[in-house]
Structure 1
Amino acid sequence: MQFFRELWSSRELLGNLVLRETRGQYKRTVLGRLWSLLNPLASMLIYTFIFSMVFRIQPEPGDPSGLNIFPVWLMCGLLPWGFFMGSLNATANSLVSNAGLITKVYFPRSVLPLAAVGTIGMNWLLEMLVLTIALLLVGANVLMWIPGTLLMMLLLAMFASGLGWILSIVNIHFRDTQYLLTILLQLWMYLTPIIYPVSLIRDMSDRVGGLLGTDVTVFDIYTLNPMYHFVTAFRQLLYDNRWPDTVHLVTCVGWTAAAVLVGVVVFNRSEKKIAEIL
């Protein structure tokens, strides 16, 4: 509990750090915060061309929304993934990039990974506003599901923060972590149903059947990926316009609780040594 009490007492510092990073992120650029929109939009165009037009992949229409627009379906998965990927990359480097501050002034070091997540979250809010407008334009009844989407976003932010506390500590010991993480996240993305529907994995799993003579299938292993459940929950809210299935909600809460618990334990054990290591 001491860990969270220190975080609460440093909430003003956390807010200032987020504002500092947000204001300085696109300083002296011509387009400013519009750059945060260009990356997901460029990804959407590329993936739409390759997977929708070349490979002719077509997900099922939204149930019950009836939406059948591949770029919109794609963005409903890309935005939560982009937030998660950006958060892990930023948190992994959050202690190293603030080494000068850490070695000069004492404050709860756990604030720095949280500030990194908060900064990425500010970009996500802008992206989410654009996606909401797009969904309204194509006839989706999305407004009533925005509160649920924000709750899922808070859950995803907690999950990313838990992993971020772990990665930030690992990275000060092994500086290769931030580079290895980039590769792992690329692999993780393709193991998550973002640019293809999960029905492709389910159909392939049904054809293969049980693995090594057991009842365990490829799909059973696939669903161990926590981001499968997060992305599916976001799509059910935004694209299907319905409350996520219970299995996805329970799994997301379970992974989040585990990530935060392990993250707190790992960070607590190393926090006093951070300044010395840096």
Structure 2
Amino acid sequence: MLSESAAGVFTIAATPFLPDGALDLASVDRATDFYVGAGATGLTILGIMGEAGKLTQDEALQVVTRVTARAGIPVVVGVSAPGFAAIEALAKAAMDRGAAGVMVAPPGHLRTDAQITGYFRTVAEVLGDIPFVLQDFPLVTGVTLDPSVILRIVEDCPTCVMLKHEDWPGLDKITTLRRASDKGARRISILCGNGGLFLPEEVARGADGAMTGFAYPEMMRDVVAAAKAGDMERAHDIFDIYLPLIRFETQPGLGLAIRKEVLARRGAIAHATVRRPGPKLTPETMAELDRLLVRLEARRGAQ
């Protein structure tokens, strides 16, 4: 079961599709092996990058069943939904299939701190003893979680064991939360997203690792390991090699298509298909990506 001690790299897994948009279960297996082989300590599926909103309920459960049966590491399942009944149903089905926990983001209609804390108290009640990840991604949800609100949720909800931190700028938020833990607040795991764009700084501020889907998970593995060993210079040296691609992948609205293209080129998935509605890469973007990957591989080889 997922716990407050979770650390390392929980890779956000892309959901593979065939060229016609059908679910590609063979590539689900292939991608799972790829992520595990790249050093992931856990996987997160059916998140925003996993195109969960484009899957039917049956397809979502097929993915959960396939990944949990194969991964051999903890699997977190995104269960965010407009209503609590849908959250409860998917969460329980995922746990029955071997998931370690679930992830929930606040819906965009929440406006006040009281509404946010009340919402997550209900989430905890609905989930029962299922451990959950609080997803803090205001760029997408439109909901800003002040550190005081996060601390209140953590205090009110013992089954909240992890924060997926994706605020931007958000480094001071990590510092505030860790200082609160040092003064006696319950300490939960903090894993960070945003494509890994601020990973060295996040770990230096007290994050326990990464939860994002950058197409080179080994970068996140090595940066986190170096930072945790106290070698921040090495962490930054490794990170700097990948930064141009991280920046390119982080483009809002286009990043998933770029990420899937890179994953396909690396053999992690058979096709770079983004299920409709979704972007397609233009020849110009593909040429830019070609150049970035050539330079990246040259720098990796010289490391």
Q: TM-score, normalized by length of structure 1? A: 0.24
Structure number with the higher helix fraction is 1
Where relative contact order (Cα < 8 A, 6+ residues apart) is larger, the structure is: 1
Q: TM-score, normalized by length of structure 2? A: 0.23
Q: Which has the larger radius of gyration?
A: 1
Structure number with the higher strand fraction is 2
